[in-house]
Amino acid sequence: MRIAVLSDIHANLEALTRCLERAEQAGADAIYCLGDIVGYNADPSECLKRVRSRCDGIVIGNHDAVVAGREKIGTLPPDGQTAVREHREQLSDGQIDFLASLPLKLQAEGCTFVHAAPGTPSDWKRLRSYPAARDQFKHFGTDVCFVGHTHVPSVVADKLGVFEVRSGNRYIINVGSVGQPRDQNPRLSFGIFDTQRFSYENVRVRYDVSRATEKIRRADRLPGRLAERLEKGV
């Protein structure tokens, strides 16, 4: 079975549309979303509609939780707070209720799915180093745990010296960000995992960045800095 794993869409419809096309081309049998469907960019409602209709499983991200009232707005950076206020006005009550209903962690297809970290997911811990990631292996029982949140793709094994995904080891895999990559590469990022072959591919795809940034700049209350981030991949 081939699983597409998406994270940190952040209301970027152009990136999400291209990502879903690429996942279909790759023969994905199922799609899982690691949260942060909303926040930062210009199309929260349409992105949420598409995720709900296309994804087989969804967990909540911290921006989703703030929009839904499960977390305080002050936990986000200033630009994130601005986007949250805008998105609350664009989303319907039913969409906000849906975000509020999402789980923090999900297990399916022999994998664990969580937005930030499997240990106390609501702490929204960023796994930016090997020591930070190593401590998390005791908090999930599957061979693979998929995470997002940092917007930077990475693979961490439970053993030193293992640099590729292969059967016999356990992994925490960060699939990067669909809608706001932060590794100085503006191409969208997501993952394809083959459960039978136990193989993983980080997929990077170009999308219509200019269209996405144009929407941000046209919006009355979204900071222009958010458009610049998409252009630079930061």
What was the pLDDT predicted at 10? 98
Mean pLDDT, all residues of the chain: 96
Residues in the chain: 234
| pLDDT band at residue 179 using 50, 70 and 90 as cut-offs | very high
Candidates 2.60.40.10, 3.40.50.1100, 3.60.21.10, 3.90.1300.10; CATH matching 2-232: 3.60.21.10
| pLDDT band at residue 162 using 50, 70 and 90 as cut-offs | confident
Name, in order, each residue with C-beta under 8 angstroms of 135's C-beta and a sequence gap of 6 or more.
Answer: 119
Distance CA 110, CA 122 (A): 22
Domain ranges across the chain: 2-232
Could you report the per-residue pLDDT of 57-113, keeping only the tens digit for each?
999 999 999 999 999 999 999 999 999 999 999 999 999 999 999 999 999 999 999
pLDDT above 80 for 218: yes
Distance CA 169, CA 216 (A): 42
For the CA atoms of 97, 14, 220, 64, the dihedral, rounded to the nearest 10 degrees, stands at: 30
What was the pLDDT predicted at 164? 83
| pLDDT band at residue 130 using 50, 70 and 90 as cut-offs | confident
Distance CA 176, CA 171 (A): 15
Percent of the chain with pLDDT strictly greater than 70: 100
In degrees and rounded to multiples of 5, residue 108 shows phi and psi of -160, 155
Show the CA angle centred on residue 195, arms to residues 171 and 175, nearest 5°: 50
Q: What is the mean pLDDT of the segment spanning 223-234?
A: 96
Global pTM reads: 0.96
Distance CA 174, CA 116 (A): 9
**Where does the chain have alpha helices with state H?**
13-25, 44-54, 62-67, 78-90, 93-101, 130-134, 209-218, 225-232
pLDDT greater at residue 62 or residue 167: 62
Q: What is the mean pLDDT of the segment spanning 200-227?
A: 96
Q: What is the mean pLDDT of the segment spanning 121-141?
A: 94
What was the pLDDT predicted at 160? 77
pLDDT above 90 for 118: yes
Percent of the chain with pLDDT strictly greater than 90: 93
What was the pLDDT predicted at 127? 94
What was the pLDDT predicted at 163? 72
79: closest CA among 35, 41, 116? 41
End-to-end CA distance of the chain: 33
Could you report the per-residue pLDDT of 22-67, keeping only the tens digit for each?
999 999 999 999 999 999 999 999 999 999 999 999 999 999 999 9
Distance CA 10, CA 35 (A): 9
